[in-house]
Amino acid sequence: MGDEPIKLFINSQGGHVEASGTIHDMIKFVKTRVIGTGWVTSAGITIYFASGKQDSYSLPILDI
């Protein structure tokens, strides 16, 4: 295992709320940068904001 953070690209129109909660918890547990691309809505927002303001990024066309 290296020290580099995991980069997670997300494009989600939502989904199962309990599943997004589990993913949210794991993102907070490990060092993860979240990059939003395309649409991030509904349960996807929980995942997108899990890494905190300092590690959440968006591509120019992101629609929340």
The string of pLDDT tens digits covering residues 26-40 is 999 998 999 999 999
Structure tokens at 34: 């979240």
Q: 0.75 exceeded by the pTM?
A: yes
Predicted confidence band of residue 1 (pLDDT cuts 50, 70, 90): low
pLDDT for the residue numbered 48: 93
Mean pLDDT of the chain: 90
Taking the CB of residue 61, how many other CB atoms lie within 10 A of it? 9
> How far is the C-alpha of 43 from the C-alpha of 31, rounded, in Å?
21
The residues spanned by each domain of the chain are: 6-58
